[in-house]
Amino acid sequence: MTDTSEAPPVDGVPVTIDGVEILAAKGELIIDAAERNGVYIPRFCYHPRMEPVGMCRMCIAEVDTGRGPALQPTCMLECTPGMVVHTDSEVTKKAQEGVLEFLLINHPLDCPVCDKGGECPLQDQAVSHGPGESRFVEEKRHKEKPIPVSDLVLLDRERCILCDRCTRFAKDVAGDPLIHFINRGNNTEVNTFPGEPFASYFSGNTVQICPVGALTSSDYRFKARPWDLEKTESTCTTCAVGCRVSIESSRNEVLRYQGVDIDPVNWGWLCDKGRYNLAALDSESRLRDPLVKGPGGAFEVARWSDALRAAANAIQAGLDAGGPGAVAFLGGARLTNESAYAFTKLAKGVIGTDHVDCQLADGMPAEAVLGLPKATIDDVCAPGGTVLLIGPDLKEELPVLFLRLRHAVLRDGVRLVQLTSVPNGCSSLASVVLQHRPGEAHEVVRALFADIPAGRDGGGVNPQALDQARALLRSAGDPTAILGRQSIAEGAEWVLDAATALLDAAPATRFLTAVRRGNTHGALDMGMAPGLLPGRATLAEGRDWFAPRWPTVPAAAGHDAVGILQAAAAGQIHTLVLLGADPLTDFPDRQLAARALSTVPNLVAVDLYITESVQHASVVLAAAGFGEIDGTTTNLEGRVSVLNQKVTPPGTARADWEIAAELALRLGSDLQVESVDDLRAEMAELAPSWAGVTDELLFSVDAADGVVLPLPTATATEPDAADADAAAAEGQSAAEGEAGESDADTPAATGPVRPGLVSFAGGEPLDPPALDAYSLRLIATRTLYDQGTFTQLTPSLAGLAPGTVLRVHAYDHDRLGVPSGTELRVKTPIGSVRAVVVTDPAVLRGTAVAVFNQPDVPLNELIDATQRVTDVRIEAGDR
Amino acid sequence: MARLTPENEILAREIIGRYPRPKSALIPLLHLAQEQDGYVTDDAMAHIAELVGVTSAEVLGTCSFYEMFKLHPCGRYVINVCTNIACMLCGGDELLHHAEETLGITAGATTPDGLFTIEAVECIAACTEAPALQVNYRYRYKVDNDAFDSLVDDLRAGRLNDEIPPHGTLARVRQHIPDDKRAFIVSPEEAAAAGEPAWMHAHETPSVEGGA
Residues of A in contact with B57 (CB under 8 A): 177-180, 191-193, 196
Which CATH number, 2.40.50.140, 3.40.50.980, 2.40.40.20, 3.30.300.30, labels domain A776-875?
2.40.40.20
- pLDDT (tens digit per residue) in A327-375: 999 999 999 999 999 999 999 999 999 999 999 999 999 999 999 999 9
| Residue of A177, A184, A191 with shortest CB distance to B65 | A184
Question: How high is the pLDDT of residue A782?
Answer: 95
- pLDDT (tens digit per residue) in A791-823: 999 999 999 999 999 999 999 999 998 999 999
Chain mean pLDDT for chain A:
92
User: Among all residues of chain A, which has the CA nearest to that of B62?
Assistant: A182
User: How far is the C-alpha of B1 from the C-alpha of A847, rounded, in Å?
Assistant: 37
* DSSP-based three-state secondary structure for B105: coil
From the CA of A1, how many Å to the nearest CA of chain B? Answer: 21
Look up the pTM and report it.
0.91
User: Among all residues of chain A, which has the CA nearest to that of B43?
Assistant: A194
> Which residues from B are below 8 Å from A when comparing CB atoms?
42, 45-46, 54-61, 64-66
ipTM for the whole complex: 0.88
Chain mean pLDDT for chain B:
88
Domain chopping of chain B, boundaries: 6-65, 77-157, 178-212
Confidence of residue B1 (pLDDT cuts 50, 70, 90): low
Question: How high is the pLDDT of residue B173?
Answer: 86
Q: What CATH number labels A291-363+520-685?
A: 3.40.50.740
Inspect the interface and report whether the beta carbons of B58 and A180 lie closer than 8 Å: yes
Give yes or no for A792 touching B (CB within 8 A).
no
Question: At residue A9, does pLDDT exceed 70?
Answer: no
* Local structure of residue A470 (DSSP, 8 states): H
How many C-beta atoms surround the C-beta of residue A470 within 10 A? 16
Inspect the interface and report whether the beta carbons of A184 and B45 lie closer than 8 Å: no
- pLDDT (tens digit per residue) in A442-501: 999 999 999 888 888 888 999 999 999 999 999 888 899 999 999 999 988 888 899 999
* Local structure of residue A346 (DSSP, 8 states): I
- pLDDT (tens digit per residue) in A237-281: 999 999 999 999 999 999 999 999 999 999 999 999 999 999 999
User: Among all residues of chain A, which has the CA nearest to that of B64?
Assistant: A183
Which CATH number, 3.40.30.10, 3.30.360.10, 3.10.580.10, 3.30.450.260, labels domain B77-157?
3.40.30.10
Angstrom distances, CA of residue A392 to CA of A240, A408, A416, A426, A483:
13, 18, 14, 9, 8
Question: At residue B192, does pLDDT exceed 80?
Answer: no
In percent, the amount of chain A with pLDDT more than 90 equals: 86
Q: What CATH number labels A371-513?
A: 3.40.228.10
Indicate the helix (H) or strand (E) that contains A309.
Answer: helix A304-322
Domain chopping of chain A, boundaries: 13-104, 291-363+520-685, 371-513, 776-875
Mean pLDDT of B3-20: 92
Question: How high is the pLDDT of residue B18?
Answer: 85
Of B192 and A596, more confident: A596
Mean pLDDT of B34-50: 96
Question: How high is the pLDDT of residue A133?
Answer: 87
Lowest-confidence segment of A47-56, A181-190, A686-695, B182-191 by average pLDDT = B182-191
From the CA of B60, how many Å to the nearest CA of chain A? Answer: 7
Question: At residue B199, does pLDDT exceed 70?
Answer: no
From the CA of B2, how many Å to the nearest CA of chain A? Answer: 15
Mean pLDDT of A385-413: 95
User: How far is the C-alpha of A560 from the C-alpha of A367, rounded, in Å?
Assistant: 12
Backbone angles phi, psi at A657, to 5 degrees: -65, -30
Q: List all residues of chain A from 141 to 200 with a beta carbon under 8 Å from chain B.
A: 176-184, 191-196
Of B53 and B18, more confident: B53
Question: At residue A731, does pLDDT exceed 90?
Answer: no
From the CA of B55, how many Å to the nearest CA of chain A? Answer: 6
Residues of A in contact with B42 (CB under 8 A): 193-195
Confidence of residue A585 (pLDDT cuts 50, 70, 90): very high
| Residue of A183, A184, A193 with shortest CB distance to B57 | A193
- What spatial distance separates the first Cα and last Cα of chain A, rounded to whole Å? 73
Sign of CA dihedral A790, A613, A581, A579: positive
* A-B Cβ pairs (cutoff 8 Å, strict): 38
Q: What CATH number labels B6-65?
A: 1.10.10.1590
Question: How high is the pLDDT of residue A766?
Answer: 81
Which CATH number, 3.40.50.2300, 3.40.50.300, 3.30.420.40, 3.10.20.740, labels domain A13-104?
3.10.20.740
Question: At residue A512, does pLDDT exceed 70?
Answer: yes
Q: Which of B56, B59, B189 to mutate to test the interface with A (most CBs of A within 10 A)?
A: B56
- What spatial distance separates the first Cα and last Cα of chain B, rounded to whole Å? 43
- Pairing relationship of beta strands A60-64 and A153-155 according to DSSP bridges: unpaired
Mean pLDDT of A38-48: 96
In percent, the amount of chain A with pLDDT more than 70 equals: 94
Mean pLDDT of A569-581: 96
Question: How high is the pLDDT of residue A364?
Answer: 92
